[in-house]
Every structure is written in C-alpha cells, then in structure tokens.
Amino acid sequence: MGLFLDFYTTDSFIYTYNIMKCSEKMMRYTGYLHIVALVVAIYGTYAQIDAVKTGKPFSMALALSLTVMLLLRIPNQICVSLRESHGWYSVFGTVMGAAGFGLLAYETYKKSQEDQKSKSN
C-alpha cells in the first residue's frame, strides 16, 4: 500500500506539473500586467510626493500603490516558476512584500483616522 501511494503521489505531481504550465499567450498577458504594475507604482509615487508637498503626512498612496504593483506581478512570476523552480522564491518574496506594504497602508489609514478624530474634538 505504501509503495502504491508513493508511486501515485509522484505520478500525480508530475502530471499536475506538466499540465500547469503557462502558454506563450498567458505569459504575454501576464507580462502586460508588469506594465500596468509600473504605471500604478509611478502614480502612487507622484501621489505621495504631492501629499508631502501639501502637508498630508498620513497619505497611504505610496504604500497602497506598491501593494497593488506587487500583487499584479504575481501571475507572471507564477508562470515563470512553473518553468524554473527557483522562481518560487520570487513569488514568496513578492507576497511577503505585498503583505508588508499592505500592512503599512492599513496602519497609515488607521493613524490618519485617529488624527482626524482628535482634530474634530
């Protein structure tokens, strides 16, 4: 039974791995997401610069735009990872980075809400 289970598990893994490859068309479309991600990051950077210039210290524009940028990159990184196994490190790092920037955006939002409440009192 154990030998059968080991063979079945290995066979299933190989089958799934061969099925789950991204086509060239999918690679192209996920590559386009990189361009959209870059536009989002540039917009967030300029929004943050504008917030600093206008005295809004708790703008979450940059953190939010970087979160979205990193999330938009994940589909392409998964496609690459299905071809090159070391690509999963990149996926993991991107998810961790997106989580970090997402947390920063959330904490910035909470702080701005607290400041608005204290100013209105």
Domain assignment present for residue 18? The answer is no
| Residue 68 structural domain | 24-116
Contact between 107 and 99 under an 8 Å Cβ cutoff? The reply is no
Decide if 111 is inside a domain. Answer: yes
Could you give the number of structural domains in the chain?
Answer: 1
Q: Does 88 map to a domain?
A: yes
- Please tell me the predicted confidence (pLDDT) of residue 103: 96
* pLDDT for residue 97: 96
User: In which residue are the tokens 């703008």 written?
Assistant: 59
In a domain, 8, yes or no: no
| C-alpha torsion sign, points 113, 116, 120, 121 | positive
pLDDT tens for the chain, 121 residues long, are 445 455 555 555 555 555 567 888 888 888 899 899 999 999 999 999 999 999 887 788 999 999 999 999 999 999 888 888 888 999 999 999 999 999 999 999 998 888 888 887 6
- Transcribe 69-97 into DSSP letters: HHHHHHHHHHHHHHHSTTHHHHHHHHHHH
Is residue 9 situated within a structural domain? no
User: Tell me, what's the pLDDT at 1?
Assistant: 47
User: What pLDDT does residue 44 have?
Assistant: 93
Asked if residue 58 is part of any domain, the answer here is yes
Residue 6 is assigned to a structural domain of this protein: no
Residue 84: inside a domain = yes
Task: Provide the whole-model pTM.
Answer: 0.75
